[in-house]
Amino acid sequence: MTKHRRYIIIDERDNVATTIEDIDDNEIVTTDRGDIRIVQHIPFGHKFALEDMEAGDYVIKYGERIGRVTATLTKGSHVHVHNVEDIVDEVRKN
């Protein structure tokens, strides 16, 4: 029996995955990067970290930088506006 996927990883360079259904805290999500224990509830359409990240690290989605982490995050953490800052002005300069 094949389990259905509960998340999407857009590009192999991404360090976040986007949920396609709610995932509760302490659930284990199996990815091709290993099993990841979800740290807190991740609502549908939100992201979780595929790796540990430090404040200042870039959030990579679609293979591109989409934001900067504002706090240390462990693998499986909820990644959203409460812990990611916008980098639009930075991207526009480049």
Query: b or e along 55-87 (b: 16 or more beta carbons within 10 Å of the residue's beta carbon)?
Result: eebbbbbeeeebbbbeeebebbbbbbeebbeeb
59/57 Cα distance (integer angstroms): 7
Domains: count for the chain: 1
Would you say the pTM of this structure is higher than 0.95?
no
CATH code, domain carrying 61: 2.30.130.110
Domain of 61, in residue numbers: 7-93
Residue 35 lies inside a defined structural domain of this protein: yes
Residue 71 lies inside a defined structural domain of this protein: yes
- The pLDDT score that the predictor gives to residue 12 is 96
What number of H helices and E strands is found in the chain?
1, 9
Q: What length is written for the chain? A: 94
Residue 2 lies inside a defined structural domain of this protein: no
Residue 13 lies inside a defined structural domain of this protein: yes
- The pLDDT score that the predictor gives to residue 24 is 97
Residue 34 lies inside a defined structural domain of this protein: yes
Residue 1 lies inside a defined structural domain of this protein: no
pLDDT digits (tens, 9 = 90+) for 20-49: 999 999 999 999 899 999 999 999 999 999
Residue 53 lies inside a defined structural domain of this protein: yes
